[in-house]
Structure 1
Amino acid sequence: MQMPNPPSPPGALSRRALLTGTAAAAGLGLAGCGSVSGGLSGRTRVKQWNLLAGSDGAVMTEMHDQFAAEHPDIELEATTFGWGTPFYTRLVMGASGGNASDIATIHLSRLKSVSPATLLDPITLDELTAHGLDPADFPEKIWEQCFAGDELYAIPIDTHALVNYYNRTVCEQVGVLNPDGTLLETHGVEEYLDLLRAVKEATGQYGTSLDTLGGWRQFWAWYRQADGEMTFGDGEYEMDDDKALQSIEIMYRMAEEGLCPTFADGGQCAANFENGAAGLVQVGNWEINRFKAFDQAQGLDFSMTEMPDFFGNRRTQGDCHSYVLPRHHSWDPEVREATLAYAAWMLRHSFRWGEGGGHTPAYLPVTESAEYQALQPNAEYSGVVQNVQFDPDVWFSGSAARLFDETGAIFNQVYGLAMTPDEALALVKERIQALLDLPNPVD
């Protein structure tokens, strides 16, 4: 099955993810009960856990190699675990026993669900500034998400989001490109559906492809564009039913007209774009490497932009990868220093992260640089940083969480025309309430 909500798809441990030859299965045993300065090598060892097993994981490993070459006094031991639940389960178990890594990469939307006050160690602003970082180096709305209470627990790495790829050859054929080769910006649902109809006529199959199993992404993007809110508290929640139904009706209309597939998992979603069955595809920016590789092998003149403006803006569903420090019984000062030096180095060198992994660096000195703004197609969708919409603030929400999976199964039936929008909305509300009735594991 396709990955639930991550930029990096789930999969078996890749040898790319290992910097020192350590197997992931041995990760807990190697972690130790606290930070320890120096391993067999006599160098300061920093243990890093992540869930990046996809093409972005290969870029991360490349960056790790460069970091190691520039820091011969630090032994970086990086371990990749299975994307989603396997990773978060390992992180929680390791941190609760004091056996986790020194630093871990998580989705920022999952920060509260990993109980930062009990399972993570806070980071001081003095520590950041000592390593050349400053709160002003990050988008304000992202930075605010890094706190639990008054304590800073996360350092944002990037923004990754649902974006809109387009085949220039097909789009030029039907006249929906600007003179500079970028996709025409539409305003409102009808203008965009007209664009898809024109593209569908050219492809003979679909206007756009999308992952019907990942329908939460489209739903949340369109719901938030309409200023829809979803708030939780005391066993209850509030959602705007009219705006929610409006978003689900768009799914149904697109599928009913044949403007998108009635079923496509993650692999089929991308393949429809590669083989010309669809002239556009709505999928995460993390697929950029796949499409670049296809372009090099078989030719695919593509670019990418933000989600279309349906309701007066270009908001989209997304998240951030972030660094956190799992709880330690005790920190060796040299290890903590080396750990933060690693994080700061990765941010300062995140141009490569954006170029190779497709994610938009959260570190503004990189994103706002002339070099990054000249990077194509990345610069065309760099504004997504201001438009990304995190999932609702509740323990069962966020990347690789149950809200995505359980609503996704419902939206898949909408795209498949097996369920009406009204039926789907009723079932979504039923599932949300059922999740809300469960005990909060963080509490």
Structure 2
Amino acid sequence: MHFRKIALATALSLSAAIGVATPAFAQQTVTWWDFLSGGDGVRMKALITQFNEEHPDIQIKGTTLEWGVPFYTKVRTSAAVGQGPDVMTYHLSRLPLGLSEGVLTPITDADLENAGLARDDFFAAAEKAAEGADGTLYAVPFDIHSIVLYYNASYLEGSRFLDDQGKLTGIESVADFEEAMQVAADNGSQTPLTYATGDDGGVYRVFYTLLSQQGGTLISDDGEILPGDSREKAVKAVETMTKWQSEGWQPEQALYEASVALFTSGKSAFQLNGVWEVPTMKDLAEAEQLGFDWGAVEVPKLMDTRTTWADSHAFAIPTQGKDEMDPEKRKAVMTVIGWMEKHAIAWAAAGHIPAYKPVAESTEFAEMEPNATYSSLADAATYDPRSEIAGVASPVYDSAINIISPAMHGYLSPEDAVEQMTSELQSRMR
């Protein structure tokens, strides 16, 4: 015993002599998975690096996986055998499916306290979307991301749709919006409105926004597809999108990248797209490669009520097979989550609205444009239905590209499209 003490003391002395650091604590390594690429990925990696620099006792080991179905499939299979991460990014729209698969662990009040957070720190819509049916919290919202209406002011000059400061105004109904698109067409816009008319996400988000603005329900809490008068409202949404197509106001079968290029190249007066394209617009403007004044606003009230499709990136802790996470590891994970929330202003630079209200209501965020202009949507956001067949990369998205897109391109009537969509989605319900 005496010899071992001498050996240990000698080893420590040698380590000090050659400059090897000997930590006075047990370092926690937090295994992290995300699906963030592009500008989102760059920003998240920067946040992880900053956290690691500030926390020598907790180190995040991050891995980025492929977005969509591949990510969630890997989460499901790895969680079942205890080979998953300690923390992961998660779309709140996928939460119902995650709960049915048993891959998510509850986030307790004690967990939130360890993170320096509380439930009422978050916007109500996001916090609600992070709950299970019984009110248990299963994720911590990080942002609110939605579609917004981008506009090219040059096509609206001299019209009633620009105010004295050159900002978009006067769109309070679908008739107003269609008038603005015709003004833009008359002023030389080749495609007044652009969105991804040939991609599932672009079609679904516009359709769901128009349906929700009428007070329509896509999937009820008891699993009925388009209950009550929601079928008629869905038909009206498809009819509206079809009219935009037949009038030549929107592109035909545009894939995502092409739809963005129509706007950035100056051919479209309006773009319905996610807040995540704000950095693209800013970068092009700063590089003097845009050629027009642009802005982005909350999607106007085109139908009966003010609301917009939205989702949230969130943080979740997966199950560990049959094991439970070590309490000290879990405390380290919650420390990571709490730090990320309190530094969400850096994430907001990607166009997102922080779900954590102290950051969203900060002076720094109020000065961040155009985010501050459209941040009002956080109080009126409509999340995807709480269903296992809804959410990112789901059968609901599939029906948008396989049924709604062909309808608005004239291959079947809006009524037939809604009937097919109802039948298809009902067949997917368990």
Shared topology, TM-score over 0.5?
A: yes
Q: Which residue number in structure 2 is paired with residue 358 of structure 1?
A: 351
> Does 2:215 align with 1:227?
yes
**1:314 maps to 2:299:** no
- 1:324-350, Cα deviation, whole Å (9 max, x unpaired): 101121322332111111100110000
Offset from partner CA, 1:73-110 (integer Å, 9 cap, x none) = 22211111111000000011111111110001110011
Distance 2:222 2:210 in 1: 27
Indicate the percent of aligned positions where both proteins have the same amino acid: 31
Distance across 1 between alignment mates of 2:221 and 2:60:
42
Q: Which residue of 1 aligns with 2:14?
A: none
Aligned-pair CA distance for 1:188: 1.5
Assess if the C-alpha contact under 8 Å between 2:145 and 2:310 holds in 1: yes
* Residues 206/185 of structure 1: CA separation in 2 closer, same or farther (3 Å cut): same
The farther-off stretch of 371-380 and 168-177 is: 168-177
In 1: Cα distance, 2:99 partner to 2:401 partner: 26
Aligned partner of residue 270 in structure 2, secondary structure? strand
Pairing of 1:287-366 with structure 2 (within 5 A): 287-297=277-287, 298-299=289-290, 300-328=292-320, 329-355=323-349, 357-366=350-359
Deviation for aligned residue 1:423: 2.5
List per-residue Cα deviations over 1:333-375 (Å, max 9, x = no partner).
Answer: 33211111110011000011112x1111000001011221121
Letter of the structure 2 residue corresponding to residue 51 of structure 1: F
Residue 89 of structure 1 corresponds to: 73
Q: Does 1:283 align with 2:269?
A: no
1:414-429 to 2 correspondences below 5 Å = 414-429=407-422
Q: Deviations over 1:280-333 (max 9, x none)?
A: 100111111222222233124321001121123331111011111011213223
Is the partner of 1:231 in helix, strand or coil? coil
Is 1:165 aligned to 2:150, yes or no?
yes
User: Where does residue 273 of structure 1 map in the other structure?
Assistant: 263
Measured at CA, do residues 361 and 185 of structure 1 come closer, stay the same or move farther in structure 2, by a change above 3 Å? farther
How much has 1:115 moved relative to structure 2? 2.1
AA aligned opposite 1:270: V
Partner AA of 2:277 in structure 1: E
CA gap of 1:45–1:352, structure 2 versus 1, over 3 A, is same
CA distance in 1, matches of 2:280, 2:236: 33
Distance in structure 2 (CA, Å) of the matches to 1:162 and 1:78: 28
- 1:337 and 1:234 map into 2 onto residues whose CA distance is 37
Which residue in 2 is equivalent to 1:410? Answer: 403
In structure 2, do the counterparts of structure 1 residues 165 and 412 end up closer, same or farther at CA, with 3 Å as the change threshold?
same
The partner residue of 2:61 within 69, 77, 82 is 77
Worse overlay, 254-263 or 113-122: 113-122
Supply the AA of the counterpart residue of 1:95: A
Residue identity in the other structure for 1:312: D
Shift of 1:175: 5.0
Residue ranges of structure 2 left out of the alignment (5+ in a row): 1-24
- The equivalent residue for 1:262 is 252
| Amino acid across the alignment from 1:50 | D
- Over 3 Å counting, the alpha-carbon distance change for 1:233 and 1:60 in structure 2 is closer
SS of structure 2 residue aligned to 1:335: helix
2:223 and 2:131 mapped to 1: Cα distance? 24
Is 1:49 aligned to 2:33, yes or no?
yes
- Which structure 1 segments of 5+ residues have no match? 1-40
Query: Residues 410 and 117 of structure 1: is their aligned pair in 2 closer, same or farther, counting only changes over 3 Å?
Result: closer
Match for residue 237 of structure 2? 247
Alignment counterpart, residue 124 of structure 1, candidates 101, 108, 122: 108
For 1:171 and 1:351, the matched residues in 2 are separated by 32
C-alpha contact (below 8 Å) 1:45/1:74 kept by paired residues: yes
Rg larger in structure: 2
The 2-side partners of 1:203 and 1:378 are apart by: 29
Task: Give the structure 2 partner of residue 190 of structure 1.
Answer: 175
> C-alpha separation between the residues in 1 aligned to 2:274 and 2:402?
19
Between the aligned partners of 2:219 and 2:257, the Cα distance in structure 1 is 33
- SS at 1:338 equivalent: helix
Which of 66-75 and 344-353 deviates more?
A: 66-75
Deviation readout 1:379-419 (Å, 9 max, x if unpaired): 01101111221112221101121211222222221332333
Structure 2 counterpart of 1:146, which letter?
A: A
CA distance, structure 2, for counterparts of residue 291 and residue 419 of structure 1:
36
> Is 1:59 matched with 2:38?
no
1:61 and 1:394 map into 2 onto residues whose CA distance is 32
* SS at 1:119 equivalent: coil
Q: Deviation at 1:256?
A: 0.6
- Decide whether aligned partners of structure 1 residues 295 and 190 sit closer, same or farther in structure 2, where only a CA change above 3 A counts: same
The structural deviation recorded for 1:117 is 7.9
1:145 positional shift: 2.0
Q: 1:118 to 1:435 in 2, by over 3 A?
A: closer
Is the CA contact (8 Å cut-off) linking 1:155 and 1:323 kept in structure 2? yes
1:154 maps to what in 2? 139
- In structure 2, the partner of 1:16 is none
Name which of 109, 122, 128 aligns with 1:138: 122
Displacement of 1:428 after TM fit? Answer: 1.4
Is contact 2:87-2:317 (8 Å) kept?
Answer: yes
Measure how far apart 1:232 and its partner are: 4.2
How large is the RMSD of aligned CA atoms in angstroms?
2.0
